[in-house]
Amino acid sequence: MPVIPGVTACLRCIYPEQPAGVQPTCETGGVLNVIVSTVASLQVADALKILSGHGDLVRPRITTVDVWDGGIRQIASPPRDPDCPTCGRREFSYLERTAVAPVSLCGRNAVQIRDRERPIDLLELEARLRPLGEVRANVYALRFFIPPYELTVFPDGRAIVKGTSDLGVARSLYTRYVG
């Protein structure tokens, strides 16, 4: 579904709240890997239309692709909701961290955590963690290995905890080692 700011509906216009449990996740339903490149190709084609000055050729539609049976179905996107919190009122709660909870990353045995309001000094964190285990760091990220886990911490406070999909375990490791 192409989202053209100020013109078409965004995903939050269609799903004001995430429909928990209604759709299968890639954890429960699986993802046939060729669908990723198929959808990316459709998105790139729409982007090229816009970039080449032919944005009028982009159709506001929701496309469902079933690569297993070769079916492609399209329905018209609903109209943009002028009172939508995201595209109507310009409130970006997911980007501003006000609505971001730890998330188990699909099929990766990892959890992403974003709950710090202040940046992290990666050099200071590296010095603190070095006596506790293997640490690799640069200006972009710090990786800390404590088998069977691996924490990747970013300067904005985000972290990816690999080796678990349990949100509680990931939060505990983050609190213990990052603070």
Catalytic residues: 26
The alpha carbon of residue 111 and the mean position of all alpha carbons in its chain are separated, in whole angstroms, by 11
The alpha carbon of residue 150 and the mean position of all alpha carbons in its chain are separated, in whole angstroms, by 19
Nearest to 160 by CA among 168, 169, 150: 150
Element (H, E) at 49: helix 34-51
- CB 17, CB 94: distance < 8 Å: no
- Burial class from Cβ neighbours inside 10 Å (0-12, 13-18, 19+) for residue 9 reads buried
